[in-house]
Amino acid sequence: MSIEVESDGMELLAKTRHDRDNLQLGKAATPYAIEVNVVLKDGVDSNNAVVVKHRLRHSLTISVLQNTTNITKEYSYINVVEMQTFEKIPTLDLSWTNQDDTRREPLLAQLRHALVDVGFLYIVNHGVPDNIISDMTAVLPILFSLTDVEKEQIALHNSPHFLGYSAPGAETTAGKADQREQVEFATELPSDWAEGKPIYERLRGPNQWPASLPTLKPIVQAYIDALTSLSERFLGLVAEALYLQVGGEDGTNPLQPFLSDQHRLKLVRYPAASAGADGEVASQGVGPHKDSSGWWTFLLQASPPHIKGLQALNREGVWIDVPVVAGSFVVNIGQAFEVVTGGLCPATTHRVLAGPYERFSVPFFQGVRRSLTKEEALGTLKNQLLCSFPGHFGGRNGPDDGSLSKEANEGKQIDSAFLRGQYDTWGESQLRTKIRSHRDVGKKYYSDVFHKYAHDN
Ligand SMILES: O=C(O)CCC(=O)C(=O)O
Ligand SMILES: [Fe+2]
């Protein structure tokens, strides 16, 4: 059987109820990647189907074969979404945002492209004062040249809130040790957890400050304050770019209720790559990952432009360099935002390669409300986004369909612990992730749930 579908734009939706169908897309010849997503009627996703694609000059034929031998299933629909890949990271100039002029619309269109097709962008003219950035940049080498004893005094394993210093190799990503050391901070908050409150509330709590570097605290706090404001302002633009309606009389941004009172900040140092005892050069600064701990990430690459390392994975599986752009922040989407937008806005996979030079960076992770449930995350914006972006949303992202990502296979391997996991709130899924990455902290402060989280695969 064969179905002719007219393509009038970016999305095509064809309904079919046969084991093997050919879908002919009359006007689908474009330079873009085509994604085929098959959702089986019983909710099993396209991993259980074989998808064969042929692309001719002006038409596209997609054959979908069912490869399950012992179960009979019907396709509920085939959703074909035309997607752009990217070759470079777009740049957005925020100096226009406060003006009500004709350049606002093109800016929102650029942002929409970055949100939907790339998941990564630079922002320039962002309004964060120069001294906030230069103070931060200057203090990084001083912080990391503290002695091992001084670093140990603020070690992450002292903190039930997972805040503090981790040595190189302490974290693994994609099965390999990351060659970076880092100090994690968060919005300074007291710990107010007590028996009877949700366990994830223990994530909230004070920072550890190095006694021998008293200038660090005001620099980090001023930086967190500035980035908190910038990230909230940016969220207003994102809501506008996605055509989300502002709510209530006070014009609340519909994305604001997803935010936490606690944002996280990491100060990171990648040592220059050098050969180990075996002669091998460890090339992984941080392995391929999606940002799992926040809503949006705002990254300062705090090294000169000739120092490279950061790369983003495009839809065709090619690693694209994200070089240092003076005066910019790199902004990328976190997994929670991908979930809330039903995969419309991808949490693009990225990594850092270790290079011949030492490199510093400062990612700010805009926090997600710990009490956010999966139901809220998947349901709150669905109808609005479905109206504005039909075809991008429903087909891929039924609540039981964990396959949100419109991306290359390498990125698809990265799990969304929140969506696929058995814990209902963002906070609990975060706590589980943290305990699994820092087992020493888990055993020390969370002994009653450690076993459950560590072995719940
Ligand atoms: O250091 C960088 O440039 C990126 C770091 C990063 O991706 C992360 O910590 O999540
Ligand atoms: Fe990251």
Rounded distance, CA 241 to CA 57, Å? Answer: 33
CA distance 62 to 228: 46
Question: For residue 116, is pLDDT > 80?
Answer: yes
**In this structure, is residue 82 part of a structural domain?**
no
Q: What phi, psi does 359 have (nearest 5°)?
A: -135, 145
Closest by CA to 425, choosing from 157, 203, 253, 205, is: 203
Ligand 1, residue 365: give the atom nearest the CA: 10
What's the structural domain count of the chain?
Answer: 1
Task: Give the model's confidence band at 78: pLDDT under 50 very low, under 70 low, under 90 confident, else very high.
Answer: very low
Q: Which ligand is nearest to the CA of 324?
A: 1
The protein residue whose alpha carbon is closest to atom 5 in ligand 1 is: 363
**Ion ligand 2 nearby residues (CB, 5 A):** 291
359 burial level (CB within 10 Å; 0-12, 13-18, 19+): buried
Ligand nearest to the CA of 333: 2
Residue at 294 is within a domain: yes
Strand partners, 158: none
- What is the pLDDT at residue 291? 94
Has residue 440 been placed in a domain? Answer: yes
* Domain assignment of residue 344, yes or no: yes
Centre of ligand 2 to C-alpha 347, Å, is 10
Residue 24 lies in a domain: no
How large is the average pLDDT for residues 71-94? 61
Is 78 within the bounds of a domain? no
**Residue numbers of the domain that contains 230:** 91-392+416-455
Residue 104 reports pLDDT greater than 90: no
Could you tell me the pTM of the whole model?
A: 0.81
Q: Is the ipTM of this complex over 0.95?
A: yes
CA distance 109 to 151: 46
Q: What mean pLDDT do residues 19-28 have?
A: 38
268 in any annotated domain: yes
Look-up of token digits 């002695």? 147
Who lines ligand 1 at CB under 6 A? Answer: 266, 268, 286, 291, 299, 301, 310, 350, 352, 361, 363
pLDDT of res. 65: 42
* CATH number for 352: 2.60.120.330
Indicate if the pLDDT at residue 93 is higher than 70. Answer: yes
pLDDT at residue 415 in the model: 56
Please tell me the predicted confidence (pLDDT) of residue 407: 59
Distance, CA 427 to ligand 2 centroid (Å)? 19
Q: Give the highest mean pLDDT range of 31-40, 52-61, 178-187, 429-438.
A: 178-187
Distance 164 CA to ligand 1 centre (A): 17
Non-local (6+) Cβ contacts of 65 within 8 A are 19, 20, 49, 50, 51, 52
